[in-house]
Structure 1
């Protein structure tokens, strides 16, 4: 039986080991196939020469907003994912129990990339373009509706989202929404659902401290916008990472760059690098007004920014492949190039650059790497390819 594709001579990334090796990748029937005992290109329908290019698992954008038709903030997943080497994406909790069904029917099942989602703990979801952000009074949370939604979409829903910021908490709620959301998350897990808690951390009110927030979280929970710069941050005045944050990481709490536009700065990223405190996950947090607009732009741009800030290439690639796959509970089907796994593959040209990069606050650094997408394969089908490759 012939192979559908041979990707030869590429720098193939082993996402588990975090290493490259020159090699070939065979594809048959939508999956990664074992190499033949004798390398005969005549047994391959299509040969792709990836010499001097980087063959990596299809990228995973673990946190962006994809409700294109039902909200004011969703991007078009078909434009933001496949052309950027992304074969798996997870919505960052745009919708709650009352509107998740329309999101699933009008967006999720239509997108080319495998699409998952977090569920917003607030029944009506994210209204971040409104003057008043979503109500986070825990008395208004509906555990019954949340559980019903998880029961209907158990394979798609990958966690529960709560927003901890001044816009949702005001000066009244304190930690109560986080504690209630954690309680719901733990209850769902006890019933067999995959449900870590995903926390939007930003611009905390005076009565919520970073240490208090991180102390609530446990293994598998995710902190989004971990390098955010508004009001209290994860850093002490001397630039050291706060003890409660380090202890949370030791417990297995995952740190998500969750890039966006306003949730990071080069000084913040530089402080993290100095402390050897790298994100477990890099995601784009793309919304409608930031897609392909700097300094948000795309997942590939977030990777470029992290490289300029001092993050090693191998760490960056793990943060957009195997790490988010594990965080989403889908490491058996994404984030790795391995025999028997879906043939979700990205071929990248990683080029040197001195392009200047500027954050949302006017800080500028010189870039060092550009991540240029050459080809995206989804389930063994070439879904995108540059004309010159």
Structure 2
């Protein structure tokens, strides 16, 4: 007997499937026969995908600048896995880990290369903040929790140190099993060309569609040569919307040239969740309908691609034997207004509404799901 069977779920490609879950894993797909302790029949009315992964959030509650609650930005909004992108460094990563054990959402971290994490806005202005031994020991202590490392490479963060913190980050990466490296880009110095030239296969550029002068597009609207070379080497683009790092115009021009994000992430924390322009991962995902992406492309960015980018091998796909992490959602087709980080607005016509999250086979109704009475399913 299965623990749970979800029947007639609509997949992003429009097809219908049943999904059976046992012991926290996907046990069967297709037309599932057999009994279950619990059955939920979606009758083709609702969409379902592998669980959404937000690969750039800030959810260390004790962080003085960027903080939030994992479940508030996780299962309450249809997100089954969140990855905190550098809120903590080696000094506080153990405390963060202990807090996350209480969450229903799966929580991981990218370790800030500065030992204090983001306690101030200029954590890499002092090179002595980068403690290789402390980083190495933290990675050894928490191998399933720490997925990679994070370096924020903009002028307000690095001060007079320019590109040097990124050179150190690449050394740390290579000394610790070639972990994923996420690099924040913003105002220069360092110049984006310097940053891109140091990055290799699997490295992640976050805030890829920011509207600042140090962006991926030239003034003529073409992809910078350094960024093109980096993408050819296997560097990946992550959205990291945030309060100041997403421009509709940059995204529209880039995507029209085939420069798509590999991952869509929110860079969410309490203030940009409550006051905007982020609000939720679903809200950020919905913006990409307005710049030329399809539903399957958008879903891949928060499932398959996100899992691949951070080496979460048991998540991101609907496949027998993988974690039973799922997101149930609706696609509302009605006029809606979206605002980017530049204050520019775009009239949209589609919006993703997360209704439920399933984490390891456990069912959670989202805030939107409660409004839509999905609790009765």
TM-score (norm 1): 0.90
Tell me which residue corresponds to 2:33: 39
Distance 1:353 1:35, change over 3 A: closer
Mind listing any 5+ residue stretches in structure 2 that lack a counterpart? Answer: none
Counterpart among 63, 82, 94 of residue 87 in structure 2: 94
Contact 2:84 2:110 in 1 (8 A): yes
Residue in 2 aligned with 1:29?
Answer: 23
1:343 equivalent among 324, 331, 335: 324
**Residue in structure 2 matched with residue 195 of structure 1 by the alignment:** 179
- Name 1:177's counterpart in structure 2: 165
> Is 1:134 aligned with 2:128?
no
Give the CA deviation at 1:293.
2.7
CA distance in 2, matches of 1:234, 1:267: 12
Matched, 1:57 2:38: no
The C-alpha deviation readout for 1:292-312, integer Å capped at 9, x for no partner, is 432111101110111222222
CA distance in 2, matches of 1:97, 1:382: 34
- Work out the number of aligned pairs and report it: 369
Deviation at 1:20, TM superposition (A): 4.3
Contact 1:77/1:111 (8 A) holds in 2: yes
What does residue range 215-230 of structure 1 map to in structure 2 within 5 Å?
215-230=197-212
Root mean square deviation, CA, Å: 1.8
Residues in 2 aligned to 1:20 and 1:124: alpha-carbon distance in whole angstroms: 46
1:363-388 Cα offsets, whole Å, 9 max, x none, are 22111211111221111111225242
Contact 1:53 1:348 in 2 (8 A): yes
- 2:272 counterpart of 1:290: yes
Instruction: Say which is worse superposed, 138-147 or 110-119, in terms of deviation.
Output: 138-147
Q: Does the CA contact (< 8 Å) of 2:5 and 2:18 recur in 1?
A: yes
1:6 aligns with 2:12: no
- C-alpha distance in structure 2 between counterparts of 1:37 and 1:358, whole Å: 42
**Corresponding residue for 1:362?**
343
Mark the CA change 1:359 to 1:38 in structure 2 (over 3 Å): closer, same or farther. closer
Matched, 1:266 2:229: no
- Paired residues of 1:122 and 1:136 also in contact (CA < 8 A): no
Deviation for aligned residue 1:289: 1.2
Measured after TM superposition, the shift of residue 70 of structure 1 is 4.3
CA distance in 1, matches of 2:274, 2:30: 41
- Cα distance in 2 for partners of 1:151, 1:38 equals 42
Structure 1 contact 8–48 (Cα < 8 Å) conserved: yes
**SS of match in other structure, 2:302:** coil
SS of 2:237's equivalent in the other structure is strand
Runs of 4+ in 1 over 6 A off after TM superposition: none
SS of 1:271's equivalent?
helix
- Residues 118 and 160, structure 1, Cα contact 8 Å, conserved in 2: yes
Q: TM-score, normalised by structure 2?
A: 0.93
Matched, 1:372 2:365: no
Q: Give the Å deviation of 1:137.
A: 3.4
Tell whether the 8 Å contact from 1:196 to 1:220 is kept in structure 2 after alignment. yes
